[in-house]
Amino acid sequence: MGAGSGGFEQGELAGMPRRLFRASPSKLLAWVDCPRRYRMQYLERPTPQTRPQRAHTSLGVAVHNALRDWWDLPGERRTPAAGAELVRTSWIESGFRDPDHSRTWRERSQEHVTTYLADVDPHSQPLGIERTVSLKTGTLALSGRIDRLDDRGDGLAVVDYKTSRTVPTDDDARTSLPLALYAAAAWKMFRRRCVRVELHHLPSGTVAVHEHTPESLQRKLAEAESIAADARRAEDDYAQFGVDSGRFPAQVGPLCQWCDFRRHCPAGQAFGPEKSDWAALEDPVPAT
């Protein structure tokens, strides 16, 4: 029974306003990617066991942590070499083929961070580093964490670091739902105009940029509400029927070869062999 239908909702009385649906941008995208995976990741308890962390995730976490911690150093110590050292101390060995493979990628990542930081003004302190932002709409309570939020004088800019093989384009920045939601949330929280979103690709030094308009941010918020409405209907069904709910179909496709929950999903296992722990260092993971 839908919201506002006057019926009896899960744990709520007829006629009372429904609680807001709480979600992060990644939770909304998980629903779009595969409702079956969403069920396992966000609803089933205990959460089905996932596979060990892959190498590209280890690399991404280490680089993000290094770029975060770099801003905690005193201004005079924020050098590119210090960034490379932070990559070394943040490094996570999990998922690489062997110690040599891990070292090769660690050194490569240190070079990428060194090159990237050479163009960053160490005295231009961002407004936020891994800053949590939130925003409420009529139906949705959104929250998420921004890699970096810059004050560019005439407005704020959302910066997202990318470490994958695929070089992002301006169109990727334009179509990204998370970036738009972060911009809308930052605008609301800081009461400063925030329409600029950027993808900073460490391996290539590419910066993909898009300037939203208030209208395009509004369209993204409407898109988020629409996804959330579908996910909420499915969650209500899950509360009633559990894993027998028919609202969580397996979205079988190339992502199944990378899926952390694949071992619990016979339909996904039928789609080609599982990718190795380090495959994403060589092959791009399919876009979603």
Binding-residue total with ligand SF4 (CB under 6 A): 14
Amino acid residing at 276: S
Q: Does 251 bind ligand SF4 (CB under 6 A)?
A: yes
In the complex, least distance from residue 43 CB atom to ligand SF4, rounded to whole angstroms: 13
In the complex, least distance from residue 50 CB atom to ligand SF4, rounded to whole angstroms: 11
Q: Which is nearer to ligand SF4, 84 or 256 (CB)?
A: 256
Quick one: which of 183, 259, 280, 281 contacts ligand SF4 (CB under 6 A)? 259
Q: Which is nearer to ligand SF4, 71 or 271 (CB)?
A: 271
Q: Which is nearer to ligand SF4, 41 or 90 (CB)?
A: 41
In the complex, least distance from residue 243 CB atom to ligand SF4, rounded to whole angstroms: 13
Q: Do you find a cis peptide bond into 46, omega within 30 degrees of 0?
A: yes
Distance CA 3, CA 285 (A): 37
Residue 193 corresponds to which tokens in the numbers above? 């105009």
Q: Interface mask (CB under 6 A) for ligand SF4, residues 28-67, using x and -?
A: ------x-xx------------------------------
In the complex, least distance from residue 150 CB atom to ligand SF4, rounded to whole angstroms: 35
Nearest alpha-carbon partner for 193 in 231, 227, 243, 150: 150
List Cα–Cα distances, 58 to 106, 219, 280, in angstroms: 10, 34, 11
Residue 89 corresponds to which tokens in the numbers above? 């101390």
Residue 215 corresponds to which tokens in the numbers above? 């209208």
Q: Does 268 bind ligand SF4 (CB under 6 A)?
A: yes
Residue with tokens 């709520």: 12
Residue 32 corresponds to which tokens in the numbers above? 């779009």
Neighbour count for residue 94 (Cβ, 10 Å): 14
Quick one: which of 250, 275, 278, 281 contacts ligand SF4 (CB under 6 A)? 250
Q: Interface mask (CB under 6 A) for ligand SF4, residues 107-126, using x and -?
A: --------------------
C-beta of residue 125 within 8 angstroms of C-beta of residue 134 = no
Q: Which is nearer to ligand SF4, 200 or 275 (CB)?
A: 275
Count of helices and strands (H, E) across the chain: 9, 6
Which residues is 200 bridged to in the sheet?
A: 161, 207
Angle at 255 between CA 254 and CA 259, to 5 degrees: 135
Q: Which is nearer to ligand SF4, 41 or 110 (CB)?
A: 41
Residue with tokens 């089905």: 48
In the complex, least distance from residue 276 CB atom to ligand SF4, rounded to whole angstroms: 16
Q: Does 234 bind ligand SF4 (CB under 6 A)?
A: no
Residues contributing to the site for ligand SF4 (CB under 6 A): 34, 36-37, 250-252, 255-256, 259, 261-262, 265, 267-268
